[in-house]
Amino acid sequence: MDQYLLSFQKFFGVQIFTLRGFQDSRSLLLAAIVAVISLSFHEFAHAWVALKNGDSTAKMQGRVTINPASHLDVLGFLAFVFAGIGFAKPVPINQNNFNNRKKGIFCVAIAGITANLILAILGAFFYVMFFYLYLKSDGQNEKVYQLFIDFFGLFATMNVSLIFFNLLPIHPLDGFRVFESFANYNNRFVKYMRNYGQYILLGLILISLIVNSVSAMPQYFDVLGTYLKFFGLNLVQLFVSLFGLLFYGQWSFVLWTP
């Protein structure tokens, strides 16, 4: 098995990892499983932290659970599987119920990102661990090890994609809520984003789609894809290198070919 199992592929301008040599159906199945887990934990984290900060709105609507049926949105789920970014049903929050309004907004906003960060770190750890076990197995059970390696590689990278997508300070993403928690209610940027943020976000996605549908267009026009590729690639590589140092005693362990 080649060390470089995963490579970046452009799809609708968003950088995702595809499994080299796999059939599309298998790749999509793995991505679907990752999407169910990642989106469910992201939304559960929002709901649970909101409850801890005094707002029981999400609890009353059955959202303080990791049950995917309570969180998944069909369109957002499919977007995450096929494009590497997506969304679930928004967790209902009543900011007036928070014990401390600004603290509550910040904690709830950062909760989903934190959940995906933990999942990404776990994915990188198990990716390197199963690769290490495979090398120690002298080639036995190669297909089993490859399945786990491919799954956890996707697990790490798709969660990192969620992190950086949600960190954008554009309404209604979590990054905007973080900024909102530190700003005055009448802050010009906050007011502008409340009114136009969703259109800006849609525009970035559409530009990404157009750029990657027309081969002659320069890729740097794809602002969203370039942003996700740069930060996502480097963060996952950092995690993999750290765990490579743990298992192999060297920093040079890599996840993909550039």
One of 40, 43, 175, 201 is an active-site residue; which one? 43
- pLDDT, averaged across the chain: 83
Q: How far apart are CA 59 and CA 238, in angstroms?
A: 36
Instruction: Determine the 3-state secondary structure of 170 from DSSP.
Output: coil
Contact 30, 17 (CB under 8 A): no
Contact 235, 242 (CB under 8 A): no
Q: Is 142 labeled as catalytic in the residue annotation?
A: no
Q: Kindly tell me if the per-residue pLDDT of 202 is higher than 90.
A: no
pLDDT of residue 214: 76
pLDDT of residue 252: 56
Give the rounded percent of residues in the chain with a pLDDT score beyond 90.
47
Q: Kindly tell me if the per-residue pLDDT of 222 is higher than 70.
A: yes
Q: Is 174 or 206 the better-scoring residue by pLDDT?
A: 174
* Token pair recorded at residue 209: 């789609």
Preceding omega of 92 cis (within 30 degrees of 0): no
Q: Which run of H or of E encompasses 226?
A: helix 223-248
Distance of CA 159 to the CA centre of its chain: 3
